[in-house]
Amino acid sequence: MMNIGIVGLGLIGGSVGLDLRTLGYRIFGVSRREQTCQKAIALGVVDEASPELSLLSTADLIFICTPICDIIPTLEKLIPFLSPSAILTDVGSVKIPIVEEASQIWPNFVGGHPMAGKTESGIEIAQLGLFEDRPYVLTPNENTPLESVKKVEAIARLLKSQVYFCEPYEHDRAVAWVSHLPVMASASLIAACMSESNLAIVKLAQELASSGFQDTSRVGGGNPELGRMMAEYNRLEILRSLHSFRDEIDKFIQHIEQKNWQSLEQKLKHTQQNRKLFLPHEN
């Protein structure tokens, strides 16, 4: 059985560790803070943990689960400690800025993105089964060793994920629509609600907010560092999707200003149908 290494013991790294350790793999974890390493051991996420990357010298497969901006620098620092056959993979929410550079530094690199998350971040909320029935995208290129791709794919399937293969640019454009745009749209909703000038109304609205608000505000209330990095590292695609979103909002405004109720209802009929195309398993 392979030795698994994980760098960045937070929500995603911790959840990968919990699942794979439960399956019997030996897990070596590295995180920035000693305190997090201790917590990871106490929570049963890893067998051994340290802030030193040298801990990973016997790892066969290493998941880099740091914030996006630290993925490439971590990979560079890892090189001196790696066994020559080690496979590296990452879990970053964007792929173009990672995959090209990473494969040049370490050809045995398989870009990845497990598409599961939670509102909170950090090791304390790592969860068994987080990736079950969720998409797991892999973005190998023509030079990635096939055997390594197969090994990472097999691990993703052990996490019970649904595995998809695509090009990094396809990934970044698709997730701009269904992951990165929703964060900004949902954050805008929360900000707009807070812009109500009558404080008594704001307070009442906060008390009346129920399942509709809970669903639509969830991703806007998530990890701010992650949201910033989605925008920073997938800037052009997220801008493209946000401009289109603004156009759609303008259309709603127009329909309502012009009391064009039939067109509005027609549009909502389409969105009601089309939502099912994105979430077929929920309908």
Binding of residue 32 to ligand NAP (CB under 6 A): yes
Side chain identity, residue 162: Q
If binding is defined by CB under 6 A, does position 31 make contact with ligand NAP? Answer: yes
The answer to whether 234 contacts ligand NAP (rule: CB under 6 A) is: no
Token pair, residue 147, equals 């055997």
Which CB, 169 or 252, lies closer to ligand NAP? 169
Identify the residue among 43, 44, 57, 122 touching ligand NAP (CB under 6 A): 122
Q: What angle is formed at CA 107 by the lines to CA 104 and CA 110, rounded to 5 degrees?
A: 105
Distance, CA of 35 to CA of 9 (rounded, Å): 11
Tokens of 49: 């943990």
29 binds ligand NAP (CB under 6 A): no
- Of 26-34, 243-251, 261-269, 273-281, the segment contacting ligand NAP by CB under 6 A is 26-34
Helix (H, G, I), strand (E, B) or coil at 77: helix
What is the rounded (10 degree) CA torsion for 101, 104, 107, 111? 10
For the chain, the C-alpha Rg in angstroms (whole number) is: 21
Residues 36-55, mask of contacts with ligand NAP (x by CB under 6 A):
x-------------------
Print the binding letters for residues 165-204 with ligand NAP: x by CB under 6 A, - otherwise: ----------------------------------------
CA 277/CA 283 separation, integer angstroms? 9
Residue 5 contacts ligand NAP per CB under 6 A: no
Which parts of 69-108 interact with ligand NAP (CB under 6 A)?
Answer: 70, 74, 91-93
Contact 83, 58 (CB under 8 A): yes
The residues that touch ligand NAP, with contacts defined as CB under 6 A, are: 7-13, 30-33, 36, 65-68, 70, 74, 91-93, 113-114, 117, 121-122, 223, 226
